[in-house]
């Protein structure tokens, strides 16, 4: 029998939880709808489509007829709808119980709207770990698709990737298809005949081979220049027609059609992997640069480069949580909330419980938890959306497990899994997370009433793509034919001036001892001398039900070089049913020399933008002229300063019991996006500061009150 080669053409379409409505609409108009418009004109072409939960929710609410079109195509056998974990989490990063629930949530949606349960599952970012077959099989998944890299790293040759394998864990088996990198890079960036010739070369008339391309639906209209090339210049129509022209030896099929005609190539066990670029992004920048040098050196010899690719790889997805503390913070918050939900007794698993589960699942959407060629973690609105869902879920579950609002609690636990205990103070309206190890800082400040995490900042770091700015190489793409990985741009001139690396996370209650002449410019540029060893030092913690104290004995170095021994204690009290908390500082001079210094308390606060007139500073003491949050300045003699957000109707106020000089500067990162490298506001640093002269054996006391408010209640 003369067998055709089967061509499985799959699209995975996704918009993350919290993305702007206009982004959903634009992607629908530029990619999802026109793809279907063209596809419907070519009977004989069958495809597999996957849409994630956030996108399906948006389509159902805004373009419901689109779902009807998909249902008709599915009934006609032209489209196979692929399932997945509903809100597109990374299975490796969430509890198994949540993974199964998310997969089954998608199965239920597909049964309701497309008439049948999906047999397959899209695995977010193709992040694979060997225990996953057990989870997928228990959730009802028969097959999935992974990159060819997964198979090659596990010992498969390139020629053995034209079919599917079976893998298992504890006897739970699933089928796995290799997605071919060459096709990912060809489609839709190369000429149609190149893909046709690739398929022709890999056909074997003696066996029913298949070649799989399954990649982002956004490549067909949203990625730079692709709407023009794919639709206006007709690439997609030409591609479909080109496939039909070769139907005597080429069959466009779905996964299920191929499995009906061909058996598995064998059993395999796949190593931890993702697609090649993701594994590179997971590496620390220094290791990324070493890997790039190795590949560049090998590129001169294509045969050696191909051989090298089989045995070299980047990192492991979970390393993003080591690379970015802010990612780890979100993931551990998610686990904390998930455990709370899992403990709800069955007698209380009502509508509020189901809503808490849904919100938790939304907060597990993967995009904000990592960073690669696009913004991801660097996009503060995506992080904000994650915290919004997680805090909402936590508030919902608290209402089921706590009596009323007159409660308060403290927890001492290794929240972030770094081997050191953190402290959490919470009540019905607020949750505060402290790191004794990292300067006794406040790393999370959740306002449950809204819900919002005021400490959702991002520190400025080295990224490998910054090299192009330092070397002065930003360049414009030349009008098309480029993968997103090949495009280098800068969205504004002078971005290299913003390549500052922070020495610590931009948390709150970070304690500084400074020289009197320090300026806001010095603070923003990290061009000042830290006179004490308190900012990142280890503090000893002690807790009560509604309070925690943090103490450190350390040193402050005077300008003339003498060191003064200092004991600093800060005590935080969170009353019941309050969104305000008090901080009391006691700074004691333990030496025989006078302590003459400037003491500053840093707050890192993110209200999403520093350049909008509805986000501004104000004070009860002075007219600050509604200075926007991106201002770089110092105000003197203030006992009160507030950051206001009139769009979200949020406010954070800081009251000092002693007049302070208040330094303010924006925290701005340079990150990569679809349009190029750009500046992104990640919060504002606010530092009330006081000159202190403390004689030997004496101490100074300072007090602050921080209040989170719903400013809509002011009107």
pLDDT tens, position by position, 361-388: 999 999 999 999 778 999 999 999 999 9
Task: Identify the burial level of 261 via C-beta atoms within 10 angstroms of its C-beta, where 0-12 means exposed, 13-18 middle and 19 or more buried.
Answer: middle
pLDDT digits (tens, 9 = 90+) for 412-468: 999 999 999 999 999 999 999 999 999 999 999 999 999 999 999 999 999 999 998
Query: Which of 317, 340, 325 lies closest to 418 in space, CA to CA?
Result: 325
The CB-based long-range contact list for 194-197 (8 Å cut-off, 24+ gap) reads 195/239, 195/242, 196/242, 196/243, 196/246, 196/250
Beta bridge partners of 693: 596
For residues 469-495, average pLDDT: 61
Q: What is the pLDDT of residue 694?
A: 97
Distance CA 291, CA 286 (A): 9
Helix (H, G, I), strand (E, B), or coil: what is residue 439? coil
Distance CA 558, CA 477 (A): 53
Strand 547-557 to strand 563-573: parallel, antiparallel, or no bridges (unpaired)? antiparallel
Strand 510-514 to strand 540-543: parallel, antiparallel, or no bridges (unpaired)? unpaired
> Could you tell me the CA-to-CA distances from 86 to 51, 175, 370 in Å, in that order?
9, 20, 19
Domains in the chain (CATH in brackets) are 5-272 (3.20.110.20), 275-315 (no CATH), 318-403 (no CATH), 485-714 (2.70.98.10)
For residues 234-260, average pLDDT: 97
Query: Among 57, 80, 98, 125, which one carries the catalytic annotation?
Result: 125
Distance CA 9, CA 67 (A): 20
Contacts of 494 (CB under 8 A, 6+ apart): none
Q: What is the pLDDT of residue 486?
A: 43
Residue 236 belongs to what H/E stretch? helix 235-245
Residue 641 belongs to what H/E stretch? strand 633-645
Residues 520 and 665: beta-carbon distance below 8 Å: yes
Residues 312 and 283: beta-carbon distance below 8 Å: no
Structure tokens at 590: 């333990």
Q: Which phi and psi (to 5°) does residue 148 adopt?
A: -60, -25
Helix (H, G, I), strand (E, B), or coil: what is residue 624? coil
Query: Which of 485, 497, 550 lies closest to 521 in space, CA to CA?
Result: 497
Average pLDDT, the chain: 95
Q: What percent of the chain has pLDDT over 90?
A: 90
Query: Among 29, 168, 216, 246, which one carries the catalytic annotation?
Result: 216
For residues 16-43, average pLDDT: 97
Of how many residues is the chain composed?
715
Structure tokens at 691: 């000159």
* Chain Cα centroid distance, residue 500: 21
pLDDT band at 714, cuts 50/70/90?
Answer: low
Distance CA 566, CA 144 (A): 59
Strand 143-147 to strand 120-122: parallel, antiparallel, or no bridges (unpaired)? parallel
Q: What is the pLDDT of residue 713?
A: 62
Q: Is the pLDDT of residue 476 over 50?
A: no
Q: What is the pLDDT of residue 306?
A: 80
- To the query of whether residue 216 is one of the catalytic residues in this protein, the response is yes
Structure tokens at 532: 């004490």
Q: What is the pLDDT of residue 592?
A: 94
Q: What is the pLDDT of residue 568?
A: 98
Lowest mean pLDDT among 210-219, 631-640, 674-683: 674-683
> Could you tell me the CA-to-CA distances from 690 to 171, 587, 588, 639 in Å, in that order?
65, 12, 15, 11
The pTM (predicted TM-score) of the whole model is: 0.95
pLDDT band at 479, cuts 50/70/90?
Answer: very low
Distance CA 152, CA 270 (A): 9
pLDDT band at 712, cuts 50/70/90?
Answer: confident
Q: What is the pLDDT of residue 482?
A: 45
> Could you tell me the CA-to-CA distances from 471 to 466, 474, 496 in Å, in that order?
9, 9, 9
Query: Which of 46, 47, 113 lies closest to 86 in space, CA to CA?
Result: 113
For residues 637-658, average pLDDT: 98
Helix (H, G, I), strand (E, B), or coil: what is residue 681? strand
Q: What is the pLDDT of residue 286?
A: 96
Q: Is the pLDDT of residue 661 over 60?
A: yes
- Residue that is written with structure tokens 């800060």 in the block: 570
Q: What is the C-alpha R_g of the chain?
A: 28
Distance CA 286, CA 270 (A): 27
- Strands (E) in 160-226, as ranges, are 165-169, 172-179, 210-216
- Residue that is written with structure tokens 């159902």 in the block: 60
Q: What percent of the chain has pLDDT over 70?
A: 97
Helix (H, G, I), strand (E, B), or coil: what is residue 1? coil
Q: What is the pLDDT of residue 484?
A: 47
Helix (H, G, I), strand (E, B), or coil: what is residue 635? strand
The per-residue DSSP string of 393-426 comes to HHHHHHHHHS-SS--EEEEEE-TTSSSS-EEEEE
Q: Which phi and psi (to 5°) does residue 268 adopt?
A: -145, 160
């Amino acid at each position: 029998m003369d067998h055709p080669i089967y061509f499985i053409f799959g699209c995975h379409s996704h918009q993350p939880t919290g993305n702007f409505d206009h982004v959903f609409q634009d992607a629908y108009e530029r990619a999802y709808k026109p793809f279907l418009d063209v596809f419907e004109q070519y009977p004989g072409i069958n495809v597999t489509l996957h849409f994630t939960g956030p996108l399906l929710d948006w389509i159902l609410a805004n373009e419901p007829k689109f779902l009807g079109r998909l249902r008709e195509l599915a009934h006609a056998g032209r489209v196979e709808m692929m399932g997945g974990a509903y809100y597109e989490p990374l299975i490796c990063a969430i509890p198994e119980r949540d993974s199964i629930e998310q997969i089954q949530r998608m199965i239920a949606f597909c049964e309701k709207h497309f008439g049948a349960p999906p047999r397959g599952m899209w695995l977010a970012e193709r992040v694979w770990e060997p225990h996953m077959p057990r989870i997928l099989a228990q959730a009802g998944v028969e097959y999935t698709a992974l990159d060819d890299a997964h198979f090659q790293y596990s010992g498969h040759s390139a020629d053995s990737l034209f079919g599917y394998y079976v893998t298992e864990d504890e006897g739970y088996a699933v089928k796995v298809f290799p997605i071919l990198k060459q096709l990912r890079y060809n489609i839709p960036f190369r000429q149609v005949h190149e893909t046709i010739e690739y398929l022709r070369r890999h056909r074997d008339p003696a066996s029913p081979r298949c070649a799989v391309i399954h990649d982002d639906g956004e490549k067909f209209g949203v990625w730079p220049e692709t709407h023009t090339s794919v639709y206006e210049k007709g690439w997609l129509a030409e591609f479909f027609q080109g496939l039909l022209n070769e139907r005597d030896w080429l069959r466009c099929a779905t996964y299920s059609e191929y499995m009906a005609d061909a058996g598995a190539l064998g059993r395999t066990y796949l190593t931890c992997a993702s697609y090649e670029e993701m594994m590179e992004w997971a590496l620390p920048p220094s290791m990324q640069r070493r890997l790039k040098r190795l590949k560049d050196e090998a590129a001169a010899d294509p045969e050696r480069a191909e051989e090298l690719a089989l045995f070299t790889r980047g990192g492991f997805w979970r390393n993003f949580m080591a690379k970015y503390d802010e990612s780890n913070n979100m993931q551990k918050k998610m686990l904390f909330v998930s455990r709370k939900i899992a403990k709800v007794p069955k007698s209380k698993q009502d509508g509020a419980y189901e809503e808490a589960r849904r919100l938790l699942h939304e907060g597990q959407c993967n995009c904000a938890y990592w960073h690669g060629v696009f913004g991801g973690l660097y996009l503060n609105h995506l992080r904000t959306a994650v915290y919004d869902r997680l805090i909402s879920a936590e508030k919902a579950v608290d209402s089921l497990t706590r009596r009323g609002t007159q409660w308060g609690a403290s927890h001492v636990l290794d929240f972030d899994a770094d081997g050191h205990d953190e402290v959490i103070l919470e009540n019905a309206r607020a949750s505060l997370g402290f790191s004794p190890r990292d300067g006794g800082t406040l790393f999370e400040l959740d306002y449950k009433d809204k819900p919002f995490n005021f400490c959702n900042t991002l520190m400025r770091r080295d990224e490998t793509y910054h090299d192009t700015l330092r070397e002065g190489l930003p360049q414009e793409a030349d009008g098309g034919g480029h993968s997103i990985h090949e495009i280098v741009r800068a969205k504004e001139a002078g971005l290299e001036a913003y390549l500052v690396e922070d020495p610590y996370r931009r948390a709150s209650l970070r304690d500084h001892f400074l020289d009197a002449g320090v300026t806001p410019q010095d603070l923003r540029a990290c061009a000042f001398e830290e006179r004490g060893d308190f900012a990142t030092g280890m503090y000893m913690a002690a807790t009560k039900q509604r309070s925690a104290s943090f103490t450190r004995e350390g040193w402050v170095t005077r300008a003339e070089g003498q060191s003064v021994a200092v004991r600093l204690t800060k005590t935080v009290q969170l009353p019941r049913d309050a969104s305000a908390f008090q901080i009391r500082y006691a700074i004691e001079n333990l030496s025989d020399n006078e302590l003459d210094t400037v003491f500053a308390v840093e707050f890192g606060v993110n209200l999403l933008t520093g350049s909008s007139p509805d986000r501004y500073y104000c004070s009860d003491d002075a007219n600050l002229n509604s200075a926007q949050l991106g201002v770089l300045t110092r105000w003197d003699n203030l006992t009160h300063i507030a950051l206001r957000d009139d769009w979200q109707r949020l406010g954070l106020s800081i009251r000092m019991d002693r007049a302070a000089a208040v330094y303010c500067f924006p925290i701005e990162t340079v990150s990569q996006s679809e349009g190029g490298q750009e500046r992104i506001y990640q919060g504002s640093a606010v530092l009330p500061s006081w000159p202190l002269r403390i004689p030997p054996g004496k101490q100074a006391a300072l007090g602050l009150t921080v209040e989170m408010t719903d400013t809509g209640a002011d009107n």
